[in-house]
Amino acid sequence: MQVSDAQDVSTGAANPSYAYKASLIGSAHRFELTEQGLSWRIAGRAGVWRYDEISAIRLSFRPVSMQQHRFRADVSRTGGGRISILSTSWQSAALMAPQDGGFRDFIVELHARMARAGSRAELIAGLGRTTYAAALAVLAVLAVAMTGLLLRALMIGEFAGALFIIGFAALFVWQIGGFVRRNRPRSYSFDNLPKSLLP
C-alpha cells in the first residue's frame, strides 16, 4: 500500500505501524510493532527496542497553537535513549492534521505487547511533578492578579473593563484548565490507560 509521509499507516495487520511528520522538512517518523519489539525510523536513524527493555512511557496532552488537540507519548529505553510519538502530523505550512485513531490504536497495542512480554516499565501520566507544581504556582499568581484587577474595575465603576476581565478569565480557564486537568502527574497500569491522555 502506498502511503504519504504525513499519514497514519496503521493497518490492523500483525505488525501495526504508525507514522507522523514532526516538521515540514524531512521524512516522517515511522514506527512498527514487530515480534522483536518496537521498530523505529527517525531522521535517518533506525532501531528495534525489545518490549521488555522499554523502561518507561510517559503519556501527556501537549496542545500547540496550530493544533489544540495534540497528544504525546515519550518512550524511554533501559540504558538510554528516548523517542517521542505525536498524535498530529504536519501537512502544510498552515495545517497540522490530527491522527487520533491511528495514534490511540498504536499506543494501546504497544502497551498490550509490553504487558505480554512481562515488561516492568514505569508508566507515567501527565507532566513531571516539579513542572506541574510550577504551573500551578503560576496559575495561582495569575488568579490573584486577575481577581485584583476585577475588584479594582468594579470599585471605580469600569463595568466594561470588568466584563472584559471576566470574559478573558473564562477563556483562560477553558483553555488552560483542560491542560492542567489532563496533565495531572500520576501512574497508571497496563490494563488501565488514562483515557484523558489518549485521543
Instruction: Let me know whether 98 and 165 are in one domain.
Output: no
Is residue 41 assigned to a domain? yes
pLDDT at 56: 97
Instruction: Let me know whether 43 and 60 are in one domain.
Output: yes
Q: Give per-residue burial for 56-85: e unless 16+ CB within 10 Å, then b.
A: ebbbbbbbeeebeebbbbebbbeeeeebeb
Contacts of 184 (CB under 8 A, 6+ apart): 125, 126, 132
pLDDT in tens, 82-125: 999 999 998 876 677 889 999 999 999 999 999 999 999 999 99
pLDDT at 66: 64
pLDDT at 20: 93
Contacts of 194 (CB under 8 A, 6+ apart): 59, 125, 186, 188
Instruction: Let me know whether 24 and 58 are in one domain.
Output: yes
Instruction: Let me know whether 122 and 134 are in one domain.
Output: no
pLDDT at 105: 96
Is residue 198 assigned to a domain? no
Query: Distance between CA atoms of 84 and 17, rounded to whole angstroms?
Result: 15
Instruction: Let me know whether 31 and 98 are in one domain.
Output: yes
Is residue 112 assigned to a domain? yes
Instruction: Let me know whether 116 and 28 are in one domain.
Output: yes
Is residue 187 assigned to a domain? no
pLDDT at 4: 39
Mean pLDDT per 10-residue interval, the chain, length 199 residues = 40 78 85 96 93 96 78 94 93 79 96 96 92 84 86 86 84 78 93 94
Specify the pTM.
0.77
Instruction: Let me know whether 119 and 75 are in one domain.
Output: yes
Is residue 3 assigned to a domain? no
CATH number at residue 110: 2.30.29
Contacts of 82 (CB under 8 A, 6+ apart): 74, 75, 76
Domain holding 42, by residue range, is 17-126
Is residue 163 assigned to a domain? yes
pLDDT at 173: 76
pLDDT at 13: 53
Instruction: Let me know whether 156 and 120 are in one domain.
Output: no
